[in-house]
Every structure is written in structure tokens, then in C-alpha cells.
Amino acid sequence: MGVLQYQPAYLEVYRQLAVEFDLSVRMAAQADFDKAGMPHWRATFAADGILFTDDFVHDMGYSKPEAVKAFWMRRLAELKPGVTEIFIHAGRPTEELKSITGSWAVRSAKFETFTHDPEMRALLDRQGVKRIGYRVIRDLQRTLRRKSVKP
């Protein structure tokens, strides 16, 4: 994630491709760009008519599986109106996952929290969260761009 989100040379190519192929993009949160000393990137993409989420929440702040659910329950209870991408590394607790990463227990806790936990589901419902994919954002972008082009 950080490689593509915080390298100016990559971001410029990413922007050019988004414009050329009329694609919405994954974009780091403004606060993260500010911390990285690159506050202009979201505005640069927006000026080209490229859509992206209003916020981007990634899973930092814990390293033990026991902390996963509490972190996300707290964080998602604070969501602001708009479109937010929730970025997690989740995985089923398989032997394969256990053999390829030392973070398998945390990833498995994320998988369970986001796919099977009734309290998480209830929180998202109470918050009025509507689950969408990037296709919805891309289609909106293309509709807006068609409307802005004068025949």
C-alpha cells in the first residue's frame, strides 16, 4: 500500500493512467498525505476529474489478535459521512497462511471480525454503512465526465 501511495513518480503515472482509462483510484487519506509532506496529491487528482473515496482507513494500531475487534469497533463508530475505504489484510486461518506470514493470527481475527461477527454487522447497520465496491465510484466518475463534455 505505502509503495504506491507515497511515491511521487508512481503517483504521477497512476494519475496519468486514471485519466487515460477514466478510472477512479485508491487514494490515501488527506491526513496521511499531510504527514508524508505531500498535501497536494488529492487535489491534483480531483482537478483531473478523478474520483476517490473521502477517507481511507487502514489497520494500524494493534499487533495482537485480541485487539482487532475493539480497534475496528471503535474506529468504525467514528466514521464521518461520505465514502470511506476500509483497508484490511484479512485471511482465513489456514496452514498456508500460517506458513507465509507471522501475522496470520491478526489477519484471521480481521477475517472473523468482518465476515462473521454479529456485533460488527450490527454496528455497520446502525451507522448506516452501505457496502460498495470501486465500480460504483468508477461509474459515477464516467457519468460525471460524460455530462461535462459538450457535444
DSSP state letters, 78-133: TPPSS-EEEE-------HHHHHH-TTHHHHHHHHHHHHH-HHHHHHHHHTT-----
Q: Tell me the pLDDT of the chain averaged across its residues.
A: 92
86: which strand partners?
A: 57
- Whether 39 and 80 map to the same domain: the answer is no
Q: Please check whether residue 93 lies inside any domain of the structure.
A: yes
pLDDT at position 145, please? Answer: 85
Cβ-contact 45, 18 below 8 angstroms: yes
For residue 143, report the phi and psi dihedrals to the nearest 5 degrees: -65, -45
Which of 73, 74, 85, 93 has the alpha carbon at shortest distance from 32?
85
Cβ-contact 23, 137 below 8 angstroms: no
Q: Please check whether residue 145 lies inside any domain of the structure.
A: no
- Whether 119 and 66 map to the same domain: the answer is yes
pLDDT at position 5, please? Answer: 77
pLDDT at residue 27 tops 80: yes
Average pLDDT over residues 71-83: 93
- Whether 12 and 37 map to the same domain: the answer is yes
pLDDT at residue 1 tops 60: no
Q: Please check whether residue 146 lies inside any domain of the structure.
A: no
pLDDT at position 146, please? Answer: 86
pLDDT at position 3, please? Answer: 65
pLDDT at residue 78 tops 90: yes
CA distance 56 to 83: 9
- Whether 46 and 9 map to the same domain: the answer is yes
Q: Please check whether residue 96 lies inside any domain of the structure.
A: yes
Categorize the per-residue pLDDT at 22 as very low, low, confident or very high, splitting at 50, 70 and 90: very high
Q: Please check whether residue 4 lies inside any domain of the structure.
A: yes
CA distances from 117 to 72, 122, 133 (A): 12, 9, 21
Q: Please check whether residue 150 lies inside any domain of the structure.
A: no
- Whether 29 and 85 map to the same domain: the answer is no
Q: Please check whether residue 24 lies inside any domain of the structure.
A: yes
pLDDT at residue 51 tops 60: yes
- Whether 59 and 127 map to the same domain: the answer is yes
- Whether 101 and 39 map to the same domain: the answer is no
In this structure, which amino acid lies at residue 27?
Answer: M
Q: Please check whether residue 139 lies inside any domain of the structure.
A: no
Categorize the per-residue pLDDT at 147 as very low, low, confident or very high, splitting at 50, 70 and 90: confident
Categorize the per-residue pLDDT at 63 as very low, low, confident or very high, splitting at 50, 70 and 90: confident
- Whether 66 and 118 map to the same domain: the answer is yes
pLDDT at residue 66 tops 90: yes
CA distance 16 to 63: 36
Q: Domain of 59?
A: 54-132
Count CB atoms within 10 A of the CB of residue 38.
17
pLDDT at position 150, please? Answer: 59
- Whether 71 and 108 map to the same domain: the answer is yes
